[in-house]
Structure 1
């Protein structure tokens, strides 16, 4: 499926990120990671007020593999 892309500015693509324009049959990740944080942990700005009362993060992950990437390198 053809696509038309207008003006675009990409400052950076960190880590194993992928930028794709147009058709793609298969895009596979080259790296993966997991981040655990509580409520309001990633808020950014000048004047932020987060009322989360009680926040709990569970970093225990019972899954052995979430995103297998062995053959994608």
Structure 2
């Protein structure tokens, strides 16, 4: 059922956000990101004891193009 929308002010929309007014069947925002993280980077909790000795993260990307997000419905 159609609706009437008054004045709308949008201050900002994130890079993977969606702003929609009106009827819609399906909205599928998607985004692609490459994350580099070293050993113990995503640990959460209290009183963690992480011993990584000499750890390093290789961020050199040899390929010029990564796999795309095409047809990823």
- Under a length normalisation based on structure 2, what TM-score does the superposition of the two structures give? 0.50
Q: Which has the higher contact order (CA 8 A, sep 6+)?
A: 1
Higher helix share: 1
The structure with more radius of gyration: 2
